[in-house]
Amino acid sequence: MTCFCHSNENTITENSKSIDLVIKLQDVSIAGTLVIPTNCKTKSLVIMSSGSGPQDRDETLEGFKIFKVIAEHLASKGIASFRFDDRGVGESTGDFVNSTIEDHVEDLEGIMDYFKTTKEHPFGSFILFGHSQGGILVGKVAVGNKSVKKVVLMAAPAVPLVEVVLYQVRQEYKRTNISKSLIEADVSAHNRLMRAIEDGTGIEEAYQLFCQTTESILYEMNSEITMDSTEIEQQAITKADTYKVIYGLPSLTSYLYHDPAGDFEKLTIPVLGLFGGLDFQVPIHQNKDRMENALLNSGTKYDFETFNNANHYFQEARTGEREEYATLKKNFVPNFLNKISDWILQSN
């Protein structure tokens, strides 16, 4: 059950208005911003779901207000949207770190329930928009939900998140001279630690393996200099302790073994998949085929678009790697925004 707490309205353009809402759910309050064009061209409300980690309603990443820019563009095209602070962020209450995928499902469904029942800002149908890990969530929520009419997947994983994590572990060694066998040993150490924590058994054994593998890597990385063995051992323990905590966080572990493709196979509504040619966080080669095969199995209508020089945030990039995010202009690659709004408006 949801109830409306309060709203603050302020005009952002002459053609639309922005309304700050706080929606009270069963256990938490979710705060967000509703943007309504003066002349709506679609009856559906776009609801945005952000990527991994606690994000504000604008999904501000490296100073780039991703969702705010998208919302303002959609408004200019006559499309209403709602974006919200994650649990424990901004004006939203709750504990993000200890929340699970099921908690996030309840939040998103609660937001839709509010708009379906409120008399002030009523919407009976929705377009779910998920960026990165948010794509996993919207795919799960959309299955069998008759009020969801379309889904937009922006750099969304189509494989279990554990596979994305392991890919990113490999990427960390891209510019090193570490031997392939040692890199793969480290990947296995991460894999075994995540699985042990998930299963609740063999954690100490997996932890010790992680320490030993990290020590071996540190020795190889520093082979040209003399390092104190005690110092290396302590660095390995510190790293193992860090990942033991990270891999034990419900906000991550509840997503690790969920298979998004299993949800995509059940969708019966149109899907737009957006991919960055230089996305090194959710890479095309790992996710696009899996997503497409799932949607082919579902038989639903889908459109895919790849933006050649786009990174994970769909900025114009040179390498696509994390290190350059902060140095790039805070805008999207050409035609990205228009692709989204044109697709939303078609067949309305």
pLDDT per position as a tens digit, 22-74: 999 999 999 999 999 999 999 999 999 999 999 999 999 999 999 999 999 99
Residue 348 pLDDT: 60
Please give the single-letter amino acid code of residue 217: I
pLDDT-based confidence at residue 224 (cuts at 50, 70, 90): low
CA 291-127-143 angle, 5° bins: 55
To which H or E segment does residue 131 belong? strand 125-131
State both tokens at 226. 């003399």
* 3-state DSSP assignment of residue 260: helix
Does residue 96 register a pLDDT over 90?
A: yes
Does residue 11 register a pLDDT over 60?
A: no
Residue 169 pLDDT: 95
pLDDT-based confidence at residue 161 (cuts at 50, 70, 90): very high
Residue 2 pLDDT: 46
Question: How far is residue 183's CA from residue 165's CA, in Å, rounded to a whole number?
Answer: 14
**Fold topology of 3-160+259-345:** Rossmann fold (3.40.50)
Do residues 312 and 281 make contact, with C-beta atoms less than 8 angstroms apart? yes
Please give the single-letter amino acid code of residue 192: R
CA 71-45-101 angle, 5° bins: 85
Phi and psi of 329, rounded to 5°?
-65, 145
The average pLDDT across 107-133 equals: 97
Does residue 3 register a pLDDT over 50?
A: no
Do residues 32 and 8 make contact, with C-beta atoms less than 8 angstroms apart? no
The domain locations on the chain are: 3-160+259-345, 161-254
Question: How far is residue 162's CA from residue 185's CA, in Å, rounded to a whole number?
Answer: 16
Question: How far is residue 159's CA from residue 286's CA, in Å, rounded to a whole number?
Answer: 8
Higher pLDDT, 130 or 15: 130
